[in-house]
Amino acid sequence: MTLIAAVITKVAQWFAAAHESLTPPIAICPVHLLVVALLIATATAYLALGPKTVYLVDYACFRPRSNFRYTKATFLEHAHLSPLLDDSSTNFIATILERSNMSDQTYVPPALGYIEPYCGLDEARAEAELIVFPAINDLLAKTGINRDAIGVLITNCSLFCSVPSISDMIVNRYKLRGDLHIVDLSGMACSASLTAVGLASNMLQVMPWGSHVLVVSTEIIGPSYYAGNNRSMLLANILLRMSGAAKLLSTSRSKARFQLRHLTRTITASNNNAYRCVYQEEDEKGNIGIALSRDLMNVAEDALKDNIMATGPLVLPASQLLKFLFFYMAKKMLFGWKVGPYIPNFSLAFEHFCIHAGGPAVITSVQHGLNLSNKHVEPSRMTFHQFGNQMSASVWYELAYIEAKGQMKKGNRVLMIGFGAGYKCNTAGWVCIQPSFDVDGPWANCVDRYSAMSPTNAKQT
């Protein structure tokens, strides 16, 4: 109200000054003056009280060192020598590694580099520090932000929940301010990064203009190592790799690189099959692991379909919405005719797509579901090939790939798609304000190997 009163006062003073400067003076009706003042006050109130635009100032991804590299040959050798695995499990691991088309450039924490991996509390904390601190260091160096300007810290890590928390570890390391708001998200798996972005956006709405939120996404995979022979649980050991990303969000456009246009969250946990399709449990021998159901792909497709139904009206052009409505009505009304579903052309709404790199099957399913080209899914396929399943941080490595290849242009739109336990599907739409010309990221030493769209054509070093 103080702001509105100040605007009305300024408008009145301006009109009075303008009236006195006219020669000869022209009579100004007080009603007209009041109408103009009310219109300006209404516009000011809308800008002040309406939703604030959220920006991504910048982001940084963890860059693994070469001594953490875990080749497929090393993995298989350790599997053959391990007293924990039988021959059937070893053969299963070899088959999945071959079909996955992962490169020999994937990375695991030190605790998993032994024949009999062991990850206690100290090793898990060391892994968290190894990943999180370098990513934050790179982000702070990129943005040049004063640490006292960070008002909220949000971290997401599904399986490692220590006391003190990862957020407390960050506050202690960087000596962040004492009135900082911190939130730790757990148990959401690969969808958690976009969930954290949505939470940051909501918190920025009630914070003073120009506030900053630091979001850190990682997964500490050491404690989640499965020491048994259940195939549905072995998949996590085979595919998951170390990763982490730090992001700085703000309501200030200054120095911002992307603008958040929309974020849609879909959760299907009310369905029992969806709830159980990614489930941490014990096997028959008491070994804890993450079981992946055979229904996983069907559940993911249904969750994506629900999410896209909510997201489509927000992003698709009118022509695509009308076509979709026509096919939907035809299918409902023409009972005797077979009318196939119409798949909207999402490439008209976005130039780039960052699909959670959970594996080739996940990427292919989304590609077919959204009718995308091979070029659109290239960042996802290459990220999985180079780094493996990086869980919630994978979409940020994919964004870094697009920028490292010089494909991001000002005004380009990006759709991020994340899947996670629960079961959840989250999507976020961004528009590029300022593309990066700095390729000193996770792809700095390897992006030149990806000159073709097929990961099988990537040069191995």
Q: Tell me the per-residue pLDDT of 68-83, one tens digit each, with 9 for 90 and over.
A: 999 999 999 999 999 9
3-state secondary structure of 33: helix
The per-residue pLDDT for 43 is: 52
The per-residue pLDDT for 445 is: 85
d(CA 218, CA 157): 5
**Max Cα distance, the chain (Å):** 101
The per-residue pLDDT for 255 is: 92
Class of domain 54-457: alpha beta
The per-residue pLDDT for 338 is: 60
Q: In 320-333, which positions are buried (b, 16+ CB within 10 angstroms) versus exposed (e)? A: beeebeebeeeeee
CB neighbour list of residue 35: distance below 8 Å, 6 or more residues apart: none
What single-letter DSSP state applies at residue 409? -
The per-residue pLDDT for 221 is: 95
Q: Low-confidence residues of the chain, pLDDT below 70?
A: 1-49, 327-328, 330-342, 438, 451-461
- Backbone dihedral angles phi then psi of residue 221, each to the nearest 5 degrees: -90, -15
CB neighbour list of residue 370: distance below 8 Å, 6 or more residues apart: 308, 343, 346, 353
The per-residue pLDDT for 49 is: 60
